[in-house]
Copies of this chain bind each other. A is one copy, B any other.
């Protein structure tokens, strides 16, 4: 076996084992009887250890060193493999094993404390654990190393190459635009009868309709499936088995429907990485911003467009008697209701970003030392009032609402909003090459857009780092301007703003 063959065979093995770990993880969330939880945790941790040992074996370093002279700058899949593995190998090697084990244990504990403390609205007992999460994270950032900001070091886990300063610039522009627009919308008042969405929507029909639409988009159900979980997600074991979950409320239509379109967006990314990347670490949808761009594109730019409902309204009426008296334009307005609220995951397209910016600013302030963890609840309330005009009645629906911080996942939130931004850049680029996409949607043509996205971005998997991937697929760097144009046009229309 040559070194290259050995290298690729090792990566194939790691890829297979990671796929199997994902199966056991999916089963845990969707199928496992409750008595199986403890043993499953042990089994998953054993497999994770086996994978980690293979990824960090000294032999990997030797192989990389031997392959780099010929491949480090090669514009080939083998070159991309070597570059990605060097990046990950170097990064993994910077954290001492003891530190990783300690951090991981503290994460588990903090997660459990959060889970118990949140329903009791008990920030005090959570606070020391959250402090530990920030401390460990700062130590990790120091170990990774960075030029200007520890947050840069953290971003590499989710979006290698993304810089804090760039996010700040984008968010400043986005906030300056969103806050006044939101005030004008709130002042404009309600335009349709939103109670329509709370009529009876039988769950079987919701499931059937959502799957029909997702498949019309291009979600290949021969390589997928849909299950029910409390917290929806998409997961994949290979490009040929990519599963999504959702949750249903008979008396609230948008939750499951847009949840399915969102997760199907993630799933279509994974289903459309190039077949030749199979069994390599490149065969994964690229990092967080790119991934989120796909879920938000299909959910919002397609699924919440008026053209979408022009095509689907008759079919929706066949599924749901409750929509018999609703026309496409009304439906469009219904599913685009803007309303400041407390909970991020239930927020509309416009206010969602304000929830994200608030989290970004607060975690940055704590990491920079300008805000104490003990001051977070108050700072949260103040920013909610400033950005959204609402104040959480308690910490449960305030600073403690998300799981991320309790698991030490800082620097993750921004990628949600950056995904929104990228989705519009991609949409504009597609439209510049394909013509009027809304006209296509109105005719029921959705798959051409998926084909364009596959060619422009999805097929590459992790072949390029995010900045290069974005440049290649959109022709420019990440930039808020197209997104702001999109929001202005859409919501001015819906709310009849001058």
Interface residue ranges, A against B (CB under 8 Å): 12-13, 16-17, 19-21, 23-24, 27, 31-36, 38-40, 42-44, 46-47, 50, 220-225, 237-241, 278-279
Residue pair A43, B20 in contact (C-beta under 8 Å): yes
Query: Residue A223 contacts which of B31, B35, B238 (CB distance < 8 angstroms)?
Result: B35
CB-CB under 8 A for A240 and B35, given A16-B43, A19-B43, A42-B16: yes
Contact residues in B for A240 (Cβ distance below 8 Å): 35-36, 38-39
- Within the complex, the shortest CB–CB distance from A143 to chain B, in Å, comes to 28
Residue pair B27, A23 in contact (C-beta under 8 Å): yes
Contact residues in B for A241 (Cβ distance below 8 Å): 32-33, 35-36, 39-40
How far is B19's CA from A440's CA once the two chains are assembled, in angstroms? Answer: 49
Contact residues in B for A221 (Cβ distance below 8 Å): 33
- Within the complex, the shortest CB–CB distance from A236 to chain B, in Å, comes to 10
CB-CB under 8 A for A40 and B237, given A20-B24, A31-B31, A222-B33: yes
CB-CB under 8 A for A222 and B34, given A13-B50, A39-B241, A240-B39: yes
Residue pair B17, A237 in contact (C-beta under 8 Å): no
- Within the complex, the shortest CB–CB distance from A326 to chain B, in Å, comes to 34
Contact residues in B for A31 (Cβ distance below 8 Å): 31, 225
Chain B residue with the shortest CB-CB distance to A223:
B35
CB-CB under 8 A for A46 and B237, given A27-B27, A223-B33, A225-B33: no
Q: Is the interface of A mostly helix, strand, loop or mixed?
A: helix
How far is B241's CA from A20's CA once the two chains are assembled, in angstroms? Answer: 17
Chain B residue with the shortest CB-CB distance to A221:
B33
Query: Residue A36 contacts which of B35, B44, B50, B238 (CB distance < 8 angstroms)?
Result: B238
- Within the complex, the shortest CB–CB distance from A241 to chain B, in Å, comes to 3
Residue pair B278, A13 in contact (C-beta under 8 Å): no
Residue pair B223, A16 in contact (C-beta under 8 Å): no
A-B interface, 8 closest residue pairs, ranked by CB to CB distance from nearest: A36-B241, A35-B223, A16-B46, A39-B238, A16-B43, A35-B222, A35-B240, A23-B24
How far is B43's CA from A237's CA once the two chains are assembled, in angstroms? Answer: 9
- Within the complex, the shortest CB–CB distance from A263 to chain B, in Å, comes to 15
Contact residues in B for A42 (Cβ distance below 8 Å): 16, 279
Chain B residue with the shortest CB-CB distance to A23:
B24
Residue pair A21, B19 in contact (C-beta under 8 Å): no
Contact residues in B for A24 (Cβ distance below 8 Å): 20, 23-24
Residue pair A13, B46 in contact (C-beta under 8 Å): yes
* Sampled A-B contacts (17; CB under 8 Å): A16-B46, A17-B46, A17-B50, A20-B43, A23-B24, A32-B241, A33-B225, A35-B220, A35-B222, A36-B238, A36-B241, A38-B240, A39-B237, A39-B239, A39-B240, A42-B279, A43-B237
How far is B19's CA from A84's CA once the two chains are assembled, in angstroms? Answer: 31
Query: Residue A47 contacts which of B20, B44, B223, B239 (CB distance < 8 angstroms)?
Result: B20
Contact residues in B for A222 (Cβ distance below 8 Å): 33-35
CB-CB under 8 A for A33 and B278, given A23-B23, A39-B240, A39-B241: no
Residue pair A20, B21 in contact (C-beta under 8 Å): yes
- Within the complex, the shortest CB–CB distance from A272 to chain B, in Å, comes to 13
Contact residues in B for A43 (Cβ distance below 8 Å): 16-17, 19-20, 237-238
How far is B31's CA from A224's CA once the two chains are assembled, in angstroms? Answer: 10
Contact residues in B for A27 (Cβ distance below 8 Å): 23, 27
- Within the complex, the shortest CB–CB distance from A146 to chain B, in Å, comes to 36
Chain B residue with the shortest CB-CB distance to A278:
B39
Contact residues in B for A238 (Cβ distance below 8 Å): 36, 39-40, 43
Query: What 16 additional pairs, Cβ within 8 angstroms, besides A20-B20, A40-B237, A50-B50?
Result: A13-B50, A16-B43, A16-B46, A16-B47, A20-B46, A23-B23, A23-B24, A27-B27, A32-B241, A35-B220, A36-B240, A38-B240, A39-B238, A39-B241, A40-B241, A43-B237
Contact residues in B for A279 (Cβ distance below 8 Å): 42
Contact residues in B for A223 (Cβ distance below 8 Å): 33, 35-36
